[in-house]
Chain A
Amino acid sequence: MSLRPKTDVRRKLRIFAVELVIYSGLVTVYFLVVLHFLSDWLVQLETRHVHTYAIVAILLIIGQAAVLEAVTTGLLRLLRRAFRR
């Protein structure tokens, strides 16, 4: 009986670890993409259109955090379905 909660915690931690690995990969790729494609544009924006830069900055940081987390959750769901099949 006491083994069940332990197994449950272990299972939850394993799912969390997988989620974290996927998420880490995505946030890193996201940063590299922004650096490669948007770096020069952001520098120009920061010097010429500060208000737009401020909004873009907030959107980029929220995008990195929230959108990628949603993508991770979606990917995990797909992976789980694939494994069940």
Chain B
Amino acid sequence: MSFRVHVRVMPRAGLLDPQGQAVEHALSALGFPDAGEVRVGRAIELDVAAGSRAEAEARARAMCDKLLANPVTEDYLVEVEGS
């Protein structure tokens, strides 16, 4: 079986996010002063071959710990499609 996995990697809360700040300033300049607390992260999608949904999630988490996210500065969310 193969599972479509969505990974969301975000800069850890509390760490300065200059990309988010730059986007917030740009939004404000474009007429969206109502935007605030902008943070920019990364979305990664992949297929994971696994025997079960739980196994796919565990594998994806291992991938995050080893490569997709930097454990020093980033947090991640893993979602597995379907059931």
A and B associate in one complex: no
Chain B residues in the interface with A (C-beta under 8 A): none
Which A residues fall within an 8 A CB radius of B?
none
